[in-house]
Amino acid sequence: MEPNASDLGRPELYINRELSQLEFLRRVLAQATESDVPLLERLRFLCIASSVLDEFFEIRVAGLKQQEAYGSVQTGADNMSPSEQLRHINERVRDLVDAQYRTLKDDLLPLLDLQGIRFLTAQEWNGKQRAWIKRYFNRELLPIMSPMALDPAHPFPDVLNKGLAFIVTLEGKDAFGRNSGRAIVQAPRALPRVVRLPESCAASPNEFVLLSWVIEDHVSDLFPGMRATGCYPFRVTRNSDLFVDLEEVDDLLRAIEGELSSRRYGDAVRLEVDIDCPEDVSAFLAAQFGLGREEVFRCDGPVNLTRLATVPDLVDRPDLKYPGFMSGVPSQLRSDPNVFSAVRKGDILLHHPFESFAPVVEFLRQAAADPKVLAIRQTLYRTGTDSAVVQALVDAAQAGKEVLVVIELRARFDEEANIELAAHLQQAGAQVVYGVVGLKTHAKMSLVIRREGRSLRRYVHLGTGNYHMRTTRLYTDYGLLTCDADLGEDVQRLFAQLTSMGRQPRMRKIVQAPFALHSTMLELIEAEIAAARQGKPARIRAKMNSLIEPQVIQALYRASCAGVTVQLIVRGICALRPGIEGVSENIEVRSIVGRFLEHTRVFCFENAGDAKVFLSSADWMGRNFFNRVETCFPVEDASLRDRVIDEAFELYLADNTQAWRLQADGVYQRVKPGRSKRVSAQLSLLERLGG
């Protein structure tokens, strides 16, 4: 007997999303301990884990603390209250932070030292080095630092979100005959946190000191006539989620501009202090930020590991990094460099970074220069600085073409860059809109309208990832170049919807959020359930970044109970528990963590042997289904469909070197090759598709 909906809604069947995110960080941190990963890349993974943990506190923990403060009893499918989640998070994060610093001190620093990459503490400086560092301090730091003694006339200063600062304990009287006892010093933001020692005083080309060590060693110079008895680095993490009242706002751009400045000084959510900081000093700091002891984290090493992220780029040691690679170019574009004529011969699938993003840029460049092109429509969520995509749009606008750009101003942590981008495009003559108030425009699409003979033809690019040149080398994503008439018409309707807000006819092929994506995914899952009950082949395969939407999870549980094989590749957060008898024993969940960040969203339904394959900008999360404008589009060409199935599922399900398998208890276990041939999906794709 199949379970009913209430049985499948039991809280114990769901993993908490925040704890699942911390499990993902453990998998990232594990890369820093892998001997197969090049040494400087291991350091980079350590820094990535630290950076993601920062954002976790800035957004997720901050949100939970607000819910707790307001007395919210709202819970997710796992039924954990905000207070319960914060308690569990605190325990997990302490273990994670301890593991980060153990990895740095016990593994990475000794191995880097063996390679001549050294971080010299003050105790290790020789006379020559000490003299150079003294000059560096006097020349670069002393003129721009503003130490702040604490007394009634000098209250505790505002400390920037994630800024490096020091609390200094002092002895002696100041110039006015008073003894304040404590002071705050904030490190200048303009200076690098890692300083390379020059050849004149370095024993090897790669010897460094941390800016914090330079300040600690010279802090007494900031307080003439007094003696510093202690100098302890600290860092505060603040709530960085922007609040914009969408019902009251008249101008979204101005409202977001006004909120950006407050992000630096939001409510404190975490305090990191040096492990040697005395208890009374850390308690004083915590009180200044309105934090309790449970929100103070002691760091057995540099406060803010993320500062070490610059080291791999500073060190010229290719042997300690991933080997370089050249992205491939599809054969259609190698034989015909004109993107429009190549696409007219057939759809072109691009799998980044194994295949180059350059054809997408060239698509827009050729459109900008082509006198037959009348109009270009483009969505931009994250693009990066000096974007070739943006330059092509500017060129098109200046050439007199109708250019419309939908920019999402609320792309988290890219808001300021997107405001500048909007102004730049408008100055060039492009029409810029900011999507839909209350919904983020997360869809990735380009539309080029070209006159061919007496008719207009629409050329389209649809993708799973952003139009960001740098991340296309770091993230795995799919893109489709096509002139399919139905897809072209759907994309044009979508742009019209985003600008005019008018109701558009039903889409022919694109499945759109927030209107149809959720219901369509549920219908496709139900179709597999029906097929299984009829004894037909039934299988669901899906690859995404996150899976937490309860109704979809319940549908997958029902599919498992009906005998449908469910194979999920979920990079990060997964609230579904696989392997529970009578509920999810037919469900496998894998996570791949490797050189490239897995970012593709691919959904495949067996459909009784005639598989339906979709690519999408959306994960299976409530925000993607209901609070964003998203696209999900079919891959209909048989050869391309088979290619997606092979590349996105067959290879990744065979991976036994970078794969983790989720257990029913919410813990991930590393997949081991054993005696089997080693398979790395990412490496295989580099070899297969790369240039």
* Per-residue pLDDT tens digits for 594-649: 999 999 999 999 999 999 999 999 999 999 999 999 999 999 999 999 999 999 99
Residue-level pLDDT at 345: 96
| Residue 682 DSSP label | H
Residue-level pLDDT at 112: 97
C-alpha 2 chain-centroid distance: 38
Q: Is the distance from CB of 141 to CB of 191 less than 8 angstroms?
A: yes
Q: Report the distance separating Cα 371 and Cα 348, nearest Å.
A: 23
Q: Is the distance from CB of 461 to CB of 445 less than 8 angstroms?
A: yes
Residues 6+ apart with CB under 8 A from 63: 241
Q: Report the distance separating Cα 450 and Cα 655, nearest Å.
A: 43
- Structure confidence by residue, pLDDT tens digits, 123-139: 999 999 999 999 999 99
CA atoms within 13 A on the CB side of 137: 20
Question: May I ask the CATH architecture of the domain 513-689?
Answer: 2-Layer Sandwich (3.30)
pTM above 0.75?
yes
Q: Report the distance separating Cα 443 and Cα 623, nearest Å.
A: 13
On the question of a common fold for 331-509 and 513-689, the answer reads yes
> Helix crossing, 39-55 with 82-102: angle to 10°?
160
Q: Report the distance separating Cα 689 and Cα 691, nearest Å.
A: 7
Q: Is the distance from CB of 625 to CB of 514 less than 8 angstroms?
A: yes
Residue-level pLDDT at 231: 95
First and final CA of the chain: distance in angstroms?
53
The torsion angle over the Cα atoms of residues 114, 116, 117 and 119, rounded to 10 degrees, is: 90
Q: Where are the domains of the chain?
A: 12-320, 331-509, 513-689
Q: Report the distance separating Cα 352 and Cα 652, nearest Å.
A: 15
Which residues of the chain fall short of a pLDDT of 50? 242-253, 255-260, 263
SS3 443: coil
Residue-level pLDDT at 149: 83
SS3 636: coil
Q: Which fold has domain 12-320?
A: polyphosphate kinase like (3.30.1840)
Instruction: Single out the catalytic residue among 218, 352, 442, 599.
Output: 442
CA atoms within 13 A on the CB side of 203: 11
Residue-level pLDDT at 691: 80
Q: Is the distance from CB of 660 to CB of 568 less than 8 angstroms?
A: no
Tokens encoding 606? 């067996």
Q: CB atoms < 10 A from the CB of 128, how many?
A: 13
State how beta strands 587-592 and 659-662 pair: antiparallel
Does domain 331-509 fall under CATH 3.30.870.10? My reply is yes
The torsion angle over the Cα atoms of residues 217, 222, 224 and 226, rounded to 10 degrees, is: -60
The values of phi and psi at residue 379, to 5°, are -100, 145
State how beta strands 402-407 and 431-433 pair: parallel
| Residue 458 DSSP label | E
Q: Is 442 tagged catalytic?
A: yes
The values of phi and psi at residue 61, to 5°, are -65, -40
- Structure confidence by residue, pLDDT tens digits, 200-257: 999 889 999 999 999 999 999 998 888 899 999 999 999 887 444 444 444 444 544 4
Alpha helices in 32-145 (DSSP H): 39-55, 62-69, 82-102, 109-114, 127-136
Q: Report the distance separating Cα 458 and Cα 464, nearest Å.
A: 20
Widest CA span in the chain: 90
Q: Report the distance separating Cα 519 and Cα 336, nearest Å.
A: 40
The values of phi and psi at residue 445, to 5°, are -155, 145
